[in-house]
């Protein structure tokens, strides 16, 4: 087929669309969370539940499709690109490690945060002072922020690898 064929360019288009929808769908989660913190608990919870739904049920599917189309591109390149090239294998390694961070630490923490927020809303307004769950939510929020930073940096590294292709002869 080769890197100038219609089929290759179609798969490249699908690869890029998946990157935009998948990673674009999660990259601004911190902005949503920061804005939601300024809202009353019921509204905060609603924003975070919608954001989590979009991230986990929609964007995640596209994120999983990114390497499928990317590997297809390598296979369709008529040996212009190979799995032994640094930019290809290192991108895959970083992607898999990032999935591990996401599923092993980030998503469980986000799910715990949602559970605590639901508990807070169900309990109603506290009798004077902040609700007892506020400190717990703040600690989890800092953890999510740190993990998100690692994942965002991983995405940037992968993009640099894809654009500059170190190891491509």
d(CA 72, CA 64): 13
Instruction: Give pLDDT, residue 26.
Output: 98
Instruction: Give pLDDT, residue 14.
Output: 98
- Over residues 102-146, the pLDDT tens digits come to 999 999 999 999 999 999 999 988 888 888 899 999 999 999 999
Instruction: Please indicate, yes or no, if residue 56 is contained in any of the structural domains.
Output: yes
Please state the domain count of the chain. Answer: 1
What is the per-residue DSSP string for 18-61?
Answer: HHHHHHHHHHTHHHHHHHHTTS-HHHHHHHHHHHHHIIIIIIHH
Domain that includes residue 53, residue range: 6-164
Instruction: Please indicate, yes or no, if residue 169 is contained in any of the structural domains.
Output: no
Q: What secondary structure letter does DSSP report for 96? A: H
Instruction: Give pLDDT, residue 90.
Output: 98
Judge whether residue 169 has pLDDT over 90: no
Instruction: Please indicate, yes or no, if residue 1 is contained in any of the structural domains.
Output: no
Instruction: Give pLDDT, residue 125.
Output: 86
Judge whether residue 24 has pLDDT over 90: yes
- pTM higher than 0.85: yes
């Amino acid at each position: 087929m080769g890197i100038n064929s219609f089929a290759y360019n179609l798969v490249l288009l699908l690869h890029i669309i998946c990157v935009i929808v998948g990673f674009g769908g999660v990259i601004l989660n911190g902005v949503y969370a920061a804005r939601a913190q300024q809202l009353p608990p019921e509204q905060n919870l609603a924003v975070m539940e919608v954001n989590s739904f979009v991230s986990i049920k929609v964007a995640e599917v596209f994120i999983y499709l990114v390497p499928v189309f990317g590997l297809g591109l390598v296979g369709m390149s008529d040996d212009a690109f190979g799995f032994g090239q640094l930019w290809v294998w290192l991108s895959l390694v970083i992607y898999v490690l990032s999935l591990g961070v996401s599923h092993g630490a980030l998503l469980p923490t986000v799910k715990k945060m949602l559970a605590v927020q639901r508990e807070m809303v169900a309990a109603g307004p506290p009798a004077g002072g902040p609700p007892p769950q506020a400190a717990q939510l703040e600690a989890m929020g800092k953890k999510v922020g740190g993990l998100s930073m690692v994942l965002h940096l991983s995405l940037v590294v992968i993009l640099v690898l894809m654009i500059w292709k170190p190891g491509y002869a």
